[in-house]
Structure 1
Amino acid sequence: MSIQKSVISNGLKTSAQALNVCFMVDEQGREVQVTPSMVKGLCAQLLQRCKSKAKAA
């Protein structure tokens, strides 16, 4: 049965709880969950790089 037919006949089932999960693949091919602290750290690093490039220009 195609996805379209399945949704039409069974309806689209959704969870009441939102789930925000992200994974990336490391050098060994393993899935690693991306955490909020990882995202914050990367944003801080990016901001620092942008500031140093602006000062150099």
Structure 2
Amino acid sequence: MNMSQVIINQSLKVLDNKPAHSGYIVDEQGKEVQITAAMIRSVCHQLLNQCRTIKN
């Protein structure tokens, strides 16, 4: 297991023990859209890729 996977697994364990909170964003029509784990993962991957681009 590489270091990124270790950090992710440790973070998930911490998050699993926290009470769930709901978050919402608003779409173009003003309707609330619940923030999903998939959305958060996607943004994290995008940020990681940007950091890698800046580093190189």
Normalising by structure 2, what TM-score?
0.60
Q: What root-mean-square deviation, in Å, do the aligned CA atoms of Structure 1 and Structure 2 show?
A: 1.1
Task: List gaps (5 residues or longer) in structure 2.
Answer: 1-18
User: Any idea what the Cα deviations from partners look like across 1:7-57, whole Å, max 9, x if unmatched?
Assistant: xxxxxxxxxxx33111011122110000011101100001001110111xx
Runs of 4+ deviating beyond 2 Å: none
State how 1:1-57 maps to structure 2 within 5 Å. Answer: 18-55=19-56
Amino acid at match of 1:40: R
Gaps spanning 5+ residues in structure 1: where? Answer: 1-17
Q: Give the letter aligned to residue 27 of structure 1.
A: E
Aligned length: 38
% identical equivalent positions: 39
Q: What amino acid sits opposite 1:36 in the alignment?
A: A
TM-score, normalised on structure 1?
A: 0.59
